[in-house]
Structure formats: structure tokens, C-alpha cells
Chains A and B, each alone.
Chain A
Amino acid sequence: MKTRINLFPKTCRARKQTLSVVKRLALWGVASLWFSVAVSLNAATPEFTLEIKNHLFYPAEIVVPANLKVRLRVINQDDTPEEFESYELNREKVIMGNSQTIIFIGPLAPGEYPFFGEFNVSTAQGKVIAK
């Protein structure tokens, strides 16, 4: 037997229209609030730089403030691509040869968070220390 499913019955449609203005206003409100929070927070986000040279991370240990979002600028000086990866930080990003990128990390609880270059695991190892 075949039954047709009406996703928008007529009774719902009228209510939908009266709601739409309120909904739209609410959406704009949330969006602008989110945007302004993002902008204001961004301005206060500290930046740290990490370099990749000969498949090694410099510095191999980065100390960052705990419980604060930070911006990590990763500069790959090698000709070959690398993938910044960390299970503890939940991060994964390819950085092409001779280029740089930005990765946001945290806010982190105090502790050590190892990371590695997935394409050169044997040498590219490091950790973020949140204090």
C-alpha cells in the first residue's frame, strides 16, 4: 500500500508565516551576537608561532596559558607538505611546503598535549604545555 506523506499540512502553513518574522529577527539577533562575540574574543586571542624545519618542530614544546583559546601560527619551512596532528588537541591540518597556516587551540585544562607531523612521525614530535 502506498501512503503519501504531507510534510507541510495547510494548518501549519498559516502559523509558519506569523512565526517567520519573529524567527527571522531572532536569527539575526543570534547571528549578530555571535559575530560580535567572535570579533571581540578574536582581538584578545594570543598568538604563538611554531616552525617546521627538516621535519622537526621548533620549538618542540610550546607553553600556552591554560583555559584560554590561543592562535597557533604554523610555518612550514620545508619543501614537503606536513600534517599537524594531535589526538589530545583534536586537531588535524595539512600545511603545504613553504607555507603557513593558523590553527586555533584550547581553551585547555592545565596539562601536556602532544602533537606530531603525521607525514614524518619519526622526527616531527612536540607538545603544547598549558599552564
Chain B
Amino acid sequence: MLLNAVIIVLRETLEAGILMSVLLTISRQSGLGQRWFVVALAMGLVGAGIYARYLGEISLWFDYAGQEVVNAFLQYALYICLVVICLMNGFSAQRASQRNSVMMLGLLMVSVMLASIREGSEIIIFFTGYMSSGEALVKALTSGFVGLMIGGSVGALCYYAIILQKADKVRAIQTGVLTLVAAGMVAQASQLLVQVDWLPSAAALWNTSDYLSESSILGQLAYATFGYEASPTPVEAVLYIVSLLLIPAIFVGVYCYRKKSQSEGSSL
């Protein structure tokens, strides 16, 4: 057993697994079925293969910043998709209209594809290192499969934990988890841009690694669910907080607007 292969695959699938499980619960609630998921995942993995194949060339773009810029773009795009999914899911209390459900389906598919391209490409590149020896590759692949199963199980656990809740709670949990995951995406993407000097770097604001190390299992889970970062720089912290507050801010804003227009309507 190659412990390293288990851990690498687990780390990547854990993050994607939690996100995808929440998206699947939304799909179930919106009556969109699960078939789209298989199609989106397959397309995402093909995309991951293509991305991995050309990563060498892409890495050279923008004076060696290509990899980070493309990854950050994927993460920011995913953030936008998740925000829209969150809002659509939060506001469509009644049965969604035909047009809305087509849009929701598209957003869910794009989100799954974006998530699998980034995470999948890293796993594929890892395995290409074992291509020279057939025996080592088989060993790495079987170990990777174990990691995939553990990550998948956590995802499945999340899925059932959400759908088994009472109906009125489900939407709140979905919104909460998606908001956290989405903000984590922004934090990660921003860190990538700091790494290539596209965003200003500065000394870390604080360091909480003594309390919760990023390399620990709990730290990894925290990283996967809300982008836990033990020593964030000011830019990351600010962007994280802004992106975290955006979804609740829109909800509150729309709620106030509705209340106001309702009271205006009744006074007339």
C-alpha cells in the first residue's frame, strides 16, 4: 500500500466530495435527478485529463504564473456558480419554473465540472509519475482507489446527513455549507495569486497552527469544508470575509426590500 497515494487522492476527493454531495442534495430537492451528475463528472474528468496533459505548457504562461492563474480562474468561476446556486435555492421556495430549473441544472453541471477539473488534474499528474513502471503504477492506482473510496464515503455521509434532516432545515444547511465552501474557494484562489505575486503579499496576520494544524486530519477537513488557513495574509483574510458575507448580505438585503415593498403596497 502506498500511503502517499491514499493521502493525495483522499485530500483531493474529500474537498470535491463534500461540495458535490451538497450539490446532489439540491438537485434532489429541485427534482433534477442524478443523471446529470454522471455526465458532468465524466466531462470534468476528461477536462482534467486535457488540463493535466497541457499543464507543462500552461505553467510557462505569464512568466511561470500560468498554473496559478488558470486554477484561480477555475476557483473564482466556481465561487460565482455556487453563489448563484445558493441564491436560487434560497429564493425558490415554491416549485421552480421551467426556465429556472434549466439554469439550475446548467449551474450544477458547471460546478461539478470545475471542481473535478482542478482536483482531478492533480491526481492524474501524480499518477503520471508512476508511468515508467507498470508494477508501481498498479500499486499506486490501488492505493489511490482506497483514497477515492474514503473520500467518496465522506461525501455520501454528507449527502445522507443532509437529506435525512427535516425539510425546513435542509435549505438552511445547504446554504450554510455552500457559503463556507464557496468562501474557501476564494481564499484558496487568492492564495494562489499571492504565490505568483499577482496579489500583494504581506506578513501573515496570525498563526493558529498551534491550535489546529493544517496537516492534521481535522485541519484537512476544516480546509475542505471552509478553506481553513492557519496563517492567512491580509488580502486572503479580507477577500475571504467579503466572499463569506456576500451570500447572507444578499439574503438580508432582499428580505428587507421585500418587506419594504410589501408594507408600501399595503399602505396604498
Contact = CB atoms under 8 A, between A and B. Distances in A.
> Interface residues of A toward B: which range?
35 or more
B254 interface: yes
A69 B212 CA distance: 26
Nearest to A118: B8
Interface in A76-130: 79-83, 87-88, 90-97, 99-104, 106-109, 118-122
A119 B126 contact: yes
Contacts of A42: 197
Contacts of A94: 55, 59, 67, 122, 125
Contacts of B203: 67, 107-109
Nearest to B254: A5
Given A102-B196, A118-B8, A96 B56 contact: yes
A105 to B, nearest CB: 8
Given A69-B201, A107-B201, A90 B64 contact: no
A104 B126 contact: no
A119 B129 contact: yes
B172 to A, nearest CB: 21
Interface string B180-223: 00000000000110111100111110000100011100000000
Contact of A81 (B68, B129, B202): B129
A38 to B, nearest CB: 7
A73 to B, nearest CB: 9
Given A101-B59, A102-B63, A107-B201, A93 B125 contact: no
Contact of B68 (A5, A67, A93, A121): A93
Interface residues of B, number: 42
A58 B233 CA distance: 28
B195 A93 contact: yes
A91 B129 contact: no
Contacts of B63: 102
Contacts of B267: none
Contacts of B215: 87
B8 A102 contact: no
B30 interface: no
A90 B188 CA distance: 10
Given A83-B122, A87-B215, A93-B68, A104 B56 contact: no
A88 to B, nearest CB: 7
A98 B130 CA distance: 15
Cβ-closest 8 pairs across A and B: A80-B129, A102-B64, A96-B56, A87-B214, A104-B197, A101-B64, A81-B125, A107-B203
Interface of B: 4, 8, 55-56, 59, 63-65, 67-68, 122, 125-126, 128-130, 132, 191-192, 194-197, 200-204, 209, 213-215, 229-233, 254, 257-258, 261-262
Given A96-B59, A96-B125, A104-B201, 9 more contacts: A5-B257, A80-B128, A80-B129, A80-B132, A90-B195, A94-B59, A96-B55, A99-B56, A104-B195
30 contacts: A5-B254, A5-B258, A37-B200, A42-B197, A67-B203, A80-B128, A81-B125, A81-B128, A87-B209, A87-B213, A90-B194, A90-B195, A90-B229, A91-B195, A93-B67, A94-B67, A96-B55, A97-B129, A100-B64, A103-B195, A103-B196, A104-B195, A107-B201, A107-B203, A118-B4, A119-B8, A119-B129, A120-B4, A121-B4, A122-B4
